[in-house]
A and B are shown apart, each in its own frame.
Chain A
Amino acid sequence: MKKYIQTLVFITGIVCLLGSCTETNTVVSSVEKPVIEAFLAPGKPISLTLMTVIGYSESADAADSLARPIDGQAIQIKVSDGSIFKLESVGEGRYVSKSTELVKFGLTYTLDFTYNGLPISATTVIPTRPTGFTLSKNFVNRTQINLGSGGFGGPGGFQEDRTPIEATWDNPNGEYHFIAFINTEANPESIVILPTDTTGTNPFRFINRRFNNEPTTATVSNIQPQSFQYFGKHYAVLYRLNPDYAALYRSAGTTTQNISTPPTAITNGLGIFTGINADTLLFTVNKY
C-alpha cells in the first residue's frame, strides 16, 4: 500500500509543478485611457480635444456614463524640423497651438504627454495636397419636398437632376481619399422639410441626413444629388488621409465573438491623431 501512496504523492507533485501559474490577461480599466481627437491640416494651428472614455460596467452603474473633457494637461507636440509646439488648454477639453505655430505638409508631428502616469504618444505625417481634383459639374438642381404638409408632395420630386456628380483625382500611390460637401450658407434651407412628429415614432427616420462616403483608395467617387440636405453654396472638399483615419470606418462587432479592437495609432490612448491635406472646389445646390 505504501507504494501506492508514494505514487500518489509523486503524481500530486507533478500536478503542482504543472499547475504553477502563467500570467495571462486580466481586465484593466481602460477607462483611464484618454480619447484624443486631432486633425492636423497644413497652414492651420493645431487643435486637439481630450476626453474621457464612457465607462461601461456589466455589473453596476459604477462607471461614468458620460464622456468628460480633460483640461489642464501639459501637452506638447514635437515637429520633425526640431520645433516644439506647446498646446494651451482652453477649456471643454480643447487644446490649441499658438496662431503662429502652423502645420506644414511633409513634416512629422509627435504627440507627447503623460496622463494618469502613463506616457501617451502618437506620430503622424502630413500628407501632400491632393492633385487633379475635378467635379463633373459644379451645380445640381433639387426640388424642395415638403413632407410636413401630409402626403408625399406628389411626384414632382422626381423631375429633378438625378445624374451623379463624378469626382475624380490623381492617386498614383493608392492613398486614401475622402470627399465631403460642407454647406457654407449661414442659414441653410432644408431640401426635405420633415414632418414635425413629436411621438418619437417617426416613420421617416431612415432618410439620410448626411453623407456617408467612406475613404477610398480609388480615383473616382460618385455623389448622388439626392444626398444633399440643404440648398446653397457648398465646399467640395477632397481630403487625402492616412490609413489610421480610414480605419475609423471599419464596422465594430457587437458580440463576444466578433468584437473588434478600436482602431488607433495612439500609444496608451484612444481616438485619432492624424495629418490630413485637402483640396477644395465650390459647388452649388440650386432650388428648382
Chain B
Amino acid sequence: MRKFLPILLVMAGLTSHAQTLTTPADSVAAMIIKDEFYNNKPLNEVIADLQKKYKFKIGYNVELLKKYRVSYWFDNTKLLDGIKGTLKETKDLTFYIDDANVIQIVPKTATQVLQNARKEFDTRYRGQPTRTNFTLMGKVVERKTNESMPFATVAVLGSKIGVQTNVDGYYTLLKVPSDTVTILVSYVGYKNTTVHLSPQTPLQNFVIEIEPGEQELEEVMVMGEKTEVLKANEIVGMIKMTPKNLAKLPNIGERDPFRAFQLMPGVSASNESSSGLYVRGGTPDQTLVLYDGFTVYHVDHLFGFFSAFNYNALKDIQLYKGGFDAKFGGRISAVAEITGKDGNKNQFNMGADLSLLSMNGFIETPLNKKTTLLIAARRSYQGALYEKIFSTFTSERQTNVTQPGLGGRPGGPGRFGNNATQDQTAKSYFYDLNAKLTWNLSKKDIVTWSLYNGTDKMDNSSASSFNFGRQTIFGASTSTNDVSAWGNLGSSVKWSRRWNDKLYSNMLVSYSNFYSNRDNTRSVVNTIPATDSTVATTRNINIGQVETNDLKDFTAKIDFEYKLTPHNQLEFGVHATANTIHYNYVQNDTVNVLSKNDKGTITSFYVQDQIRLLDTKLLIKPGIRANYFDVTKKWYVEPRLSATYALNERVKLKMALGRYYQFAKQINREDLTQGNRSYWLLADGDALPVTKSNHLILGGSYEFREYLVDVELYQKNNVGITEYTLRFVPQIRQGLSVQETFFNGDETVRGMDVLVQRKFGKFNGWIGYTLSEAVRDVTIFSERPYYSDQDVRHQFKFIGSYRWKNIDFALTQIISSGRPYTSIVGAYQINLLDGSVRSFTMPSDKNASRFSSYNRLDISATYNARWGSVGLSVFNLYNRKNVWYKRFEVITEGDESVLQTTNVNYLGFTPNLTISWKLR
C-alpha cells in the first residue's frame, strides 16, 4: 500500500493541477475517454489503440506487458483513472508520469524509479513564487456535475490557514503565503484533493474540483474532524453527512438521511414511529430543520417511518447536536441544516429508484450556461411493504374506536349476524416533490429558488350497513371516516452575493406551511320504518373527533459573513419570522375542545465572531442573538460560546455553552390510539411559556491511526416545557381554558455521547454509546420529578461496513434501554347516584415503569454497477418484538377483576429490495 502512495500523490496533484492550469502538457491528465470497451484484450493492444485514437504517449516495455490481458470499460473516464483501472487487473504493474508528462508503465517492483518520480514531481514547483501574501478566492465544485460544495474545507497545506466554503461553495483564503503552496480540499464523502498553485493560478474564481470518494462507509459521515485536514470544521457536537452515500446503509424502503443520523450517538434510534430527531433527550420539535433556508415543521412520512426528505434532492446535511451558533435560533435542542442539490451544471442527467415501497425519480439539467434545474419526486405505491407498515401503525387504532358520549355501543358490523356488510375503502399514499432552480447571475451573484412539497394521506375509512331481523324492521348504516392528511409546502428564494473578497451576503425570503388534518368520525344513520301511526324517521348521529392544525411561516433573513483577518470571521444578520398557527379539536360534531388561533412575529439580530488564537490551536466562537417576540412584547437574549482547543495533532478539547429560546412548540396530544397527532402552538408567555434552555457541553477527541475516539458530555436545563392533557379536566366540554389542559414545568437532561470510529479500510464503521437522562418536573403529574417520555438510559449502536469487490455489506445493531411508561397498578369501583357501578383503573406514578429493552439488527448488501445499484436490506433480522406501547384491558367477572396487558409492537422482520438507476 505504501508503494502506491507516491503514485496517488503524483496523480492527485497532477489531476487537480491540470484542471486549473491550461498548459498543453496537462491535457493528457485532463483527457476524458468517453466510451472504449476492451474485453480480455492483450494489454499491449489496448495501449496501442488508446495512443492511436487519443493522440498521447505512453512509455512501456512491450516484452514486459506481453503476458497481460485486461478487461476495462472507459465510460466517461479520466485517462489516468482508466489507466489505473486497467493496470489494477495485472496486479503487478503501476505507472508514473515523468517530467515530460508522459505516462510510464513500470512493474511495481521498480521502487527506485517510482521514488525518483516522486522527487521529480515534488521539485516541479520549486520555481520562485511571484506573488506572496495574497487573497485566494474561488469555489469548490464536484467534478462530474459542477455542483457547488457547501461547507467543504479548504486549507493551505503545511500552514495554519484554512477556511470552510460557505453554503454556496465559495471560499476566501486570506494571506496565502505564496503562489507555490499546495491547497488541500476535503469534504465528507469525497476524496481529499490537493491542488498546487503556480504563478499562473488565477486568484479570483479559482475553481477546485473534487470527486466522490471511493466506497468506504467512512465517507458517509465523519464526526468532528481529522486533525490535519478539517481545520475549519471544528464544531462541537456536529455531524455531517453526504446523502449520496446513504445507499450503503441498511434501509427499509427509503434511504433516509434522518434515519442515518439516528445511528450516531446522541440521536435516539429507538423511536420507529417518528423519523424526527430526538437529539440528546430533546423531542423532535426542539430540532430546527432548515431546508434551503426555510423551516420544515414536520418531517414524517407514513406515520413517521420515513422522513420527508428525498435523498436524491439533497447535497449536504449538517446536524448540530447542541451548543449551536448564534446564527440559528427558535429551537432549544438541535439544528439540522439541509442543502438541496443545484443539479448538474454540465449535462443532462436523470435517475430513478424503485423499492418495495416507493418510486423515486429525478432529473437534473443545465437550462443554459447560467441556469440549472433539479426536480426530484417520489410517491409510494401500495405494495406489500407499504401495506405491512401501514397495518402495523393502524391495526390497533382501528379496533379501538371508542364512542365517547354514548353509553351503549352501537355495535360494530357483524355483531348482528344478519345481513351485515362492510366496505373498506382504504386509500393511502405519500408523495413529495423537490425542485430547485439556480441562476448564476454573475460571478458574484447567485439566485436560487427552492420548493418542497410533500403530502401524506392515510385513508382508512369504511362504510357498513346492517338490517335487523328477517324483514327490514330496523335499519342502520354507519360510515366511518378515518382520514389523516398532513404535509408541508415550503419555498425559498435566496440571493447570494459576494461583494468583495471579505464580504459575503445571503438574502432569503421563504414561506413554509405545515398542515395536519385528522378526521376520525363515525356517522350513524338509523332508519326506523313507517308504521300505521308514524312516518319513517332517520336519525343522524356523528361521533368521533376532528382535529386540524395549520401553521404558516413567513420568513425574511439577511446574513453576512465578513472576514476581518485570516483568523477572524465575523457573521451577523437579521431574521424575521411571522407565524400564524391554527389549531382546532372538535369532538362529536359540536364540542370544540380546543381552538387556538395564534399569531406572532419573532425578530432576531445576531452577531458572532469566529476567532483563531494561540497559533490557531484555539478556536473560539462567541456570539449573541437577541429576539423580540411581539406576543409577549419582550426581548429574549441568547449568549452563545463555543471553543475548541487542539492540545496537539491528535487530542482536541471542545466546549460549548449557550442559552436557547423556543417560541413555536409542538405539543403531543396524549392519545395515540385514536390517532396520535402532535400539533404546533405558539407560546403566549403565560399559560404557554416561551421555553428556555441552557446548554453546557464538554468534550474531547483523540485520533490515532485510522481511529477516532470522541466523547462529549452535556447538560441541558429547560424551563417552561409544556405538556398537554385532558386527564385533569373534570369533563370534556366546550371552551376548556388553556390553564386546564396545558401544564408547564422544568426538565433537566444530561448525558454522555461516545463515538469510536474506524474511518478507513475495507472494514470500517463505528460504535456509538449514549448514556443519558431526561427528567421532568411538572407538578400536576407528580409531586416528584419523573423521567420524560423520551428518556432512554443506555443506547448502544454498532455500524459496520465491509466492501468486497463491487458489493458493500453493512450491518447495524441497536441496543437501547426501554422508554418509560405509566402502567396500571390497580382498580376499584364506585356506585354512582343512578345506581350504576363505574370501574376505575389506577395508574402508577407517571412514567414509573419501563418497556423492555429495544434492540434490532439490520443488514444490507448493495451491488454497485456503472448504471446504478441493487440493494437488498433486511430490517429487524431476528424479528425482535420491540414494544411501541402497551394496551390495558380490565376483565371483570362478578366482583373479581383482572388486568390484561397487550404489547403493541413495532415492525418485525422486513426485507426490502431497492434498484437504483442513473444515466450518469
Nearest Cβ on chain B to A25's Cβ, whole angstroms: 4
Chain A residues engaging chain B, CB cutoff 8 angstroms: 3-4, 7, 11, 14-15, 18-19, 22-31, 33, 35, 37, 39, 51, 53-58, 63, 65-67, 152, 155, 158-159, 162, 178, 180-182, 203, 206-208, 210-215, 217, 237, 239, 243-263, 270-272, 276
The answer to whether B672 touches A255, judged by C-beta atoms less than 8 angstroms apart, is yes
B residues 405-434 in Cβ contact with A at 8 Å: 407-411, 415-417
The answer to whether B834 touches A15, judged by C-beta atoms less than 8 angstroms apart, is no
**Bound Cα distance A22, B849 (Å):** 16
Q: Can you pick out 14 interface pairs between chain A and chain B where the beta carbons lie within 8 Å of each other?
A: A19-B752, A56-B827, A58-B823, A58-B899, A158-B531, A207-B408, A237-B833, A239-B833, A244-B730, A250-B732, A253-B671, A254-B887, A255-B888, A257-B676
Nearest Cβ on chain B to A279's Cβ, whole angstroms: 13
The answer to whether B836 touches A210, judged by C-beta atoms less than 8 angstroms apart, is yes
The answer to whether B531 touches A262, judged by C-beta atoms less than 8 angstroms apart, is no
The answer to whether A210 touches B834, judged by C-beta atoms less than 8 angstroms apart, is yes
Residue of A with least CB distance to B888: A254
B residues 367-388 in Cβ contact with A at 8 Å: none
**List of B residues within 8 angstroms of A54 by Cβ:** 826-828, 897
Instruction: Knowing that A18-B752, A248-B832, A256-B888 touch, tell me 12 more A-B residue pairs with CB under 8 angstroms.
Output: A22-B775, A25-B847, A31-B826, A155-B531, A178-B834, A203-B415, A208-B407, A210-B836, A212-B408, A243-B730, A254-B888, A270-B840
**Bound Cα distance A159, B821 (Å):** 54
Knowing A24-B785, A158-B528, A215-B731, the reply to whether A255 touches B844 (Cβ < 8 A) is: no
The answer to whether B828 touches A18, judged by C-beta atoms less than 8 angstroms apart, is no
Q: Which listed residue, A25, A63, A180, A249, touches B731 by the CB 8 Å rule? A: A249
B residues 474-503 in Cβ contact with A at 8 Å: none
The answer to whether B889 touches A15, judged by C-beta atoms less than 8 angstroms apart, is no
**Bound Cα distance A24, B729 (Å):** 25
Nearest Cβ on chain A to B884's Cβ, whole angstroms: 9
The answer to whether B411 touches A206, judged by C-beta atoms less than 8 angstroms apart, is yes
Q: Which listed residue, A24, A162, A256, touches B787 by the CB 8 Å rule? A: A24
The answer to whether B469 touches A39, judged by C-beta atoms less than 8 angstroms apart, is no
The answer to whether A270 touches B702, judged by C-beta atoms less than 8 angstroms apart, is no
**Bound Cα distance A221, B19 (Å):** 86
Nearest Cβ on chain B to A7's Cβ, whole angstroms: 6
The answer to whether A203 touches B417, judged by C-beta atoms less than 8 angstroms apart, is yes
**Bound Cα distance A217, B591 (Å):** 14
Q: Which listed residue, B648, B711, B752, B904, touches A255 by the CB 8 Å rule? A: B904
Any chain A CB within 8 A of the CB of B534? yes
The answer to whether B676 touches A7, judged by C-beta atoms less than 8 angstroms apart, is no
B residues 893-907 in Cβ contact with A at 8 Å: 895-899, 901, 904
**Bound Cα distance A155, B402 (Å):** 31
Residue of A with least CB distance to B903: A256
Nearest Cβ on chain B to A3's Cβ, whole angstroms: 7
Any chain A CB within 8 A of the CB of B782? yes
The answer to whether B897 touches A65, judged by C-beta atoms less than 8 angstroms apart, is yes
Residue of A with least CB distance to B892: A54
Residue of A with least CB distance to B849: A27
The answer to whether A24 touches B408, judged by C-beta atoms less than 8 angstroms apart, is no
Knowing A7-B647, A215-B731, the reply to whether A37 touches B469 (Cβ < 8 A) is: no
**List of A residues within 8 angstroms of B887 by Cβ:** 254-256
The answer to whether A246 touches B531, judged by C-beta atoms less than 8 angstroms apart, is no
The answer to whether B672 touches A4, judged by C-beta atoms less than 8 angstroms apart, is no
Knowing A4-B702, A11-B711, A246-B731, the reply to whether A270 touches B752 (Cβ < 8 A) is: no
**List of B residues within 8 angstroms of A57 by Cβ:** 825
Knowing A250-B730, A259-B822, A261-B728, the reply to whether A206 touches B408 (Cβ < 8 A) is: yes
Q: A interface, by DSSP: helix, strand, loop or mixed?
A: loop
Any chain A CB within 8 A of the CB of B830? yes
The answer to whether A30 touches B844, judged by C-beta atoms less than 8 angstroms apart, is yes
**List of B residues within 8 angstroms of A258 by Cβ:** 670-673
Any chain A CB within 8 A of the CB of B885? yes
Knowing A18-B752, A203-B416, the reply to whether A261 touches B727 (Cβ < 8 A) is: yes
Chain B CB count within 10 A is highest, among A51, A180, A256, for A256
Chain B residues engaging chain A, CB cutoff 8 angstroms: 400, 402, 404, 407-411, 415-417, 469, 473, 528, 531-534, 647-648, 650-651, 653, 670-673, 676, 698-700, 702, 711, 713, 715, 726-733, 748, 750-752, 771, 773, 775, 782, 784-787, 821-836, 838, 840-849, 885-889, 895-899, 901, 904
**List of B residues within 8 angstroms of A260 by Cβ:** 727, 843
**List of A residues within 8 angstroms of B408 by Cβ:** 206-208, 212
Nearest Cβ on chain B to A203's Cβ, whole angstroms: 7
The answer to whether A66 touches B895, judged by C-beta atoms less than 8 angstroms apart, is yes
The answer to whether A259 touches B672, judged by C-beta atoms less than 8 angstroms apart, is no
Q: Which listed residue, B651, B841, B845, touches A25 by the CB 8 Å rule? A: B845
**Bound Cα distance A214, B838 (Å):** 12
The answer to whether B845 touches A28, judged by C-beta atoms less than 8 angstroms apart, is yes
The answer to whether B698 touches A14, judged by C-beta atoms less than 8 angstroms apart, is yes
**List of A residues within 8 angstroms of B835 by Cβ:** 180, 182, 210
Q: Which listed residue, B404, B648, B899, touches A56 by the CB 8 Å rule? A: B899
Nearest Cβ on chain B to A139's Cβ, whole angstroms: 19
Nearest Cβ on chain A to B898's Cβ, whole angstroms: 6
**Bound Cα distance A139, B650 (Å):** 93
The answer to whether A248 touches B838, judged by C-beta atoms less than 8 angstroms apart, is yes
Nearest Cβ on chain B to A223's Cβ, whole angstroms: 12
Nearest Cβ on chain B to A247's Cβ, whole angstroms: 4
The answer to whether A65 touches B896, judged by C-beta atoms less than 8 angstroms apart, is yes
Residue of A with least CB distance to B783: A25
**List of B residues within 8 angstroms of A245 by Cβ:** 833
Knowing A30-B844, A206-B411, the reply to whether A246 touches B784 (Cβ < 8 A) is: no
The answer to whether B828 touches A259, judged by C-beta atoms less than 8 angstroms apart, is no
Sorted nearest first, the 3 A-B pairs with minimum C-beta distance are: A212-B407, A180-B834, A256-B821
The answer to whether A11 touches B532, judged by C-beta atoms less than 8 angstroms apart, is no
Nearest Cβ on chain A to B756's Cβ, whole angstroms: 13
Q: Which listed residue, B748, B782, B885, touches A257 by the CB 8 Å rule? A: B885
Residue of B with least CB distance to A37: B830
Nearest Cβ on chain A to B175's Cβ, whole angstroms: 32
**List of A residues within 8 angstroms of B848 by Cβ:** 25-28
**Bound Cα distance A259, B908 (Å):** 26
Knowing A25-B786, A29-B825, A56-B825, the reply to whether A18 touches B888 (Cβ < 8 A) is: no
The answer to whether B897 touches A263, judged by C-beta atoms less than 8 angstroms apart, is no
**Bound Cα distance A271, B731 (Å):** 17
**List of B residues within 8 angstroms of A252 by Cβ:** 840-841
Q: Which listed residue, A23, A30, A214, touches B842 by the CB 8 Å rule? A: A30
**List of A residues within 8 angstroms of B650 by Cβ:** 4
**List of A residues within 8 angstroms of B729 by Cβ:** 250
Chain A CB count within 10 A is highest, among B416, B727, B823, B829, for B727
Nearest Cβ on chain A to B763's Cβ, whole angstroms: 25
**Bound Cα distance A155, B887 (Å):** 43
The answer to whether B830 touches A272, judged by C-beta atoms less than 8 angstroms apart, is yes
Nearest Cβ on chain A to B385's Cβ, whole angstroms: 26
**List of B residues within 8 angstroms of A30 by Cβ:** 825-826, 842, 844
The answer to whether A270 touches B787, judged by C-beta atoms less than 8 angstroms apart, is no
Knowing A30-B825, A210-B834, the reply to whether A152 touches B407 (Cβ < 8 A) is: no
Residue of B with least CB distance to A64: B826
The answer to whether A56 touches B824, judged by C-beta atoms less than 8 angstroms apart, is yes
The answer to whether B828 touches A271, judged by C-beta atoms less than 8 angstroms apart, is yes
